[in-house]
Amino acid sequence: MNVQLRVLALIVGLGLFLTFVLQNTESVALRFLGFKFETILSVHWIISYLLGMLTGWATLHFVARSVRRIAERRRAAKA
């Protein structure tokens, strides 16, 4: 994908996100494990997105580490 297309996709994505934030300014409550958080909807959305990113990164890290260890064991067994 060329750079201009990536920049265009980024601008469109940010525009959609900004529209979402501006249209959802009411306060919502989130209850989890006895805790209650009350903020605007977009903050909940951002937190969920960041937690998803963290989870994906951790999963990728653990899988890559496992693959690396298996490859090292196979190399050591051949040597």
- pLDDT, tens digit (0-9, with 9 covering 90-100), for 17-36: 888 888 888 888 888 899 88
What residues make up the domain containing 52?
3-78
Q: Mean of the pLDDT values across residues 43-50?
A: 85
Distance CA 12, CA 17 (A): 9
- pTM beyond 0.75: the answer is no
| Cα–Cα distance list, 34 to 30, 31, 37, 56, 74 (Å) | 10, 6, 10, 26, 48
Q: Which residue has the higher pLDDT, 76 or 1?
A: 76
Strand partners, 40: 27
Strand partners, 33: none
How many structural domains compose the chain? 1
The yes-or-no verdict on residue 1 having pLDDT over 80 is no
The yes-or-no verdict on residue 79 having pLDDT over 80 is no
Contacts of 20 (CB under 8 A, 6+ apart): 42, 45
